[in-house]
Amino acid sequence: MYFIEILYPDYDGALRDCHWWKDKLIFRTSDKIFEYDIAEIRNILNQKCPIDTPYIKLNDKILGFETPPVIENGSTLVPIRFLFEQMGVTVDWEQATRTATISQNNTTVSFTIDDPTAFVNGAPATMTVPARLINGKTMVPLRFLSENLGYTVDWDEGSRTVMIE
C-alpha cells in the first residue's frame, strides 16, 4: 500500500522489466538499466513505513497514503485531505492560524495544529491527541473526526487495520 520512488525522479521512460539478482534489483527501461541494493531499499521502506504502520479501510477499500498513518498515544493520525476527500468531506485550510475545517452535511469540525481543543458545530470538544504536522502533511486523529461526522470506526488489532463505515 505504501511506496517509494526508486527510479530517477526526472526519468519518464517506461519500465520494461524488473529482476531480483543476488542482493540487487535490476530495472530495465527502453534505454537504461538501473541497479539498486536490496538492503538499501529495505532500509528506506522501513524508515518511510515502519512495520507497525496501520492500514485504513474505508467502505471495504484499503487506502494507501503518500504519508503513512501513525499511531500516537493510542490514536491513529492520518493525512486529513486525502482521507476526508475520499469520504466526500470538504476540507479547508487556513495557513495563517494553522487551522483546518472539515464539513459534511450539517456538521463542521475545526481544529488547530498542536491544540487538543476542536470545535464541533461551534462547541468545544477535546481530542485525545491534537492534529500534527508530519512531513509537511496535516495529520489528524481519525476516530475523533470520523465519528463526529457520523461514521463508525472499528480497530482490528490482528491486522492493524482501522475500518471506517
Distance of CA 64 to the CA centre of its chain: 7
In order of their start, the domains of the chain are 1-49 (no CATH), 55-164 (3.30.457.10)
- For the chain, what's the residue count? 165
Per-residue pLDDT at 46: 61
Residue 85 clears pLDDT 90, i.e. is over it: no
Which whole number is the average pLDDT over 70-99? 90
pLDDT digits (tens, 9 = 90+) for 36-76: 887 877 676 666 655 667 888 988 888 877 788 888 898 89
Give the cell for residue 7: 527510479
C-alpha cell at 20: 531480483
The model's pLDDT over 13-38, given as tens digits with 9 standing for 90+, comes to 666 677 777 888 787 777 777 788 87
Residue 1: its pLDDT value, please?
45
Q: CB under 8 Å to 80, separation ≥6 — which residues?
A: 91, 100, 102, 131, 137, 138, 139, 140, 145
- CB contact set of 96 (below 8 Å; sequence gap of 6+): none
Instruction: Determine the average pLDDT of the residues in 139-160.
Output: 90
pLDDT band per the 50, 70, 90 thresholds, residue 123:
very high
